[in-house]
A and B are shown apart, each in its own frame.
Chain A
Amino acid sequence: MNFSRMFHNLNYTVSVLLFLMGLYTVAVKPNLIKKLIGLNIMETSVFLFIVSIGMVEGGQAPIIAEGVRSSQMVNPIPQALILTGIVVAVSTTAVALSLCLKIHERYGTLNASEILGRGEL
């Protein structure tokens, strides 16, 4: 356990911490909307991890402009991949929320323990 390296890679450590917080919310809290918030926190923590890998000290944004040399730019590939990831995250959130609306219409509650405990169809 290399603690100084963990403290130097602060973005990675915080990303792991956020992932664990999101996972705790999904596993423990009974309300469905809280679970969705936890899922979103998990997704954004993974995005933070992947984009932080491509960061370079004193780097510039990967856009060709006056006075920016291409050897000074940050890594553009994680940014392109995470752009697609953000779109997929909002799409799954929209579908999950519409399912929550239908569940509330059918069962009258959004508490997962109560819904599972009823057992009827």
Chain B
Amino acid sequence: MRRAAVIGALLMIGAMLLFAIGKMPAMNSRNTPDKTHVVPRYLEKGEEEGGAKNIITGVILNYRGYDTMGEVTVIFSALCAVVAVLDREKRGLSRSGPDASGVRSSVIVRTVVRFAFPVILFFAVAYMMLHGEGSPGGGFQGGAILGASVIVFTLAFGLPESTRRMPLKARIPLESTAMVGFLSMGIIGLAYGVNFLTYLLPGVHLALAQTIRNLMLTVIEVGIGIGGGVIFISIVFAMMREDKDELQPDVPQP
């Protein structure tokens, strides 16, 4: 009965949405209203005003900088919420389910991860984060790959080994680099008398101003990258930890 009511409601919603799709302009066409007002200016002046060859980086850091600041706030709040809900950092053990069984990963997995981990780290930091302005990439992509590489390391070698290499004292300052990078670069604009988050400073010689702008964009991107990566790592570590009463009774306590 309930299922039939839900399916009926969904069919009505679907009929309304499909009717609206029938009225939309055809896909893949060039002169729909969303492409004729602001977009030609963004595409033509994207490189000189945004400061990067990758127009998407120019859009998210310059034309839509406040949205990116909001995104950084959201991901930091998610970390705070996960750690506050789970409440394991202070009283939990640094063990997880696979470690408690005492069976290590096989030799093949450990050797491959040992070779692949520095290569992935290099790709994430040197190519994605730092070269994100000239090719597809950017700060957040590099940070996500950084987090994923440490997660692979944790899955192959176990949580105590991984926590030994990235202890809590090292993770806490790095988690806030994204927000700190954004705010500090934004306040530089205020110090010169223009808006918050302005990159081209007035009253400075043009070539020097462009160099300063590129430097500021790089600092923000690296900040978002490292902050996002360490936030993902901290979320996964916090969820993998065990509480004292969760371990099976025949596992020796450390």
Contact = CB atoms under 8 A, between A and B. Distances in A.
A55 interface: yes
B140 interface: yes
A94 B151 CA distance: 15
Contacts of B40: 70-71
B43 interface: yes
Nearest to A55: B28
A76 B77 CA distance: 28
Contacts of A54: 34-35
Given A54-B35, A94-B82, A76 B59 contact: yes
Contact of B55 (A27, A64, A94, A102): A64
Question: What is the interface of chain B mostly: helix, strand, loop, or mixed?
Answer: helix
Interface in A1-26: 1-3, 5-6, 8-13, 16-17, 19-20, 23-24
Contact of A81 (B67, B82, B243): B67
Contact of A98 (B26, B27, B77, B239): B239
Contact of B24 (A9, A61, A92): A9
Interface of A: 1-3, 5-6, 8-13, 16-17, 19-20, 23-24, 27-28, 52-57, 61-65, 70-71, 73, 75-77, 79-81, 83-84, 87-88, 91-92, 94-95, 97-99, 101-102, 105
Nearest 3 pairs between A and B by C-beta?
A91-B78, A2-B22, A57-B28
24 contacts: A2-B22, A10-B27, A16-B17, A17-B14, A28-B3, A53-B34, A55-B28, A56-B28, A57-B30, A64-B46, A70-B46, A73-B43, A73-B55, A77-B59, A81-B67, A84-B68, A87-B228, A88-B74, A91-B77, A95-B78, A95-B81, A97-B239, A102-B85, A105-B243
